[in-house]
Amino acid sequence: MDSEFIVRAELVATVLQVDVDIGRAVDRETQVALLESMKMEIPVLADRAGVVTAVHVAPGRTVQAGDEIAAIAAEP
């Protein structure tokens, strides 16, 4: 099993908010960011529990499908 998981954008969207910081512990289903596409808000959720090791986006940035939003390291 990989020790780090990358949270990625699933579609082209604008980042409305980032809900995590580096070092924050997250649970599975914790909202990592909120995106907007075609006037719809799309929450981006963590797929596993761990600690955020990187945040690759900021509010106002446009992301493409597959772009990295954040990295989460598995808890030891």
- Give this prediction's pTM: 0.90
Q: Is 10 left (phi over 0), alpha (psi -120 to 50) or beta?
A: alpha
Q: pLDDT of 13-37, one tens digit each?
A: 999 999 999 999 999 999 999 999 9
Fold of 4-73: OB fold (Dihydrolipoamide Acetyltransferase, E2P) (2.40.50)
Nearest to 56 by CA among 66, 43, 41, 42: 66
Q: How confident is the model at residue 1 (pLDDT cuts 50, 70, 90)?
A: very low
What are the beta bridge partners of residue 26? 50
Distance CA 63, CA 74 (A): 25
Q: Which residues of 57-67 are buried (b: 16+ CB within 10 A; e: fewer)?
A: beeeeebeeeb
Specify whether the CB–CB gap between 49 and 28 falls below 8 A.
Answer: yes
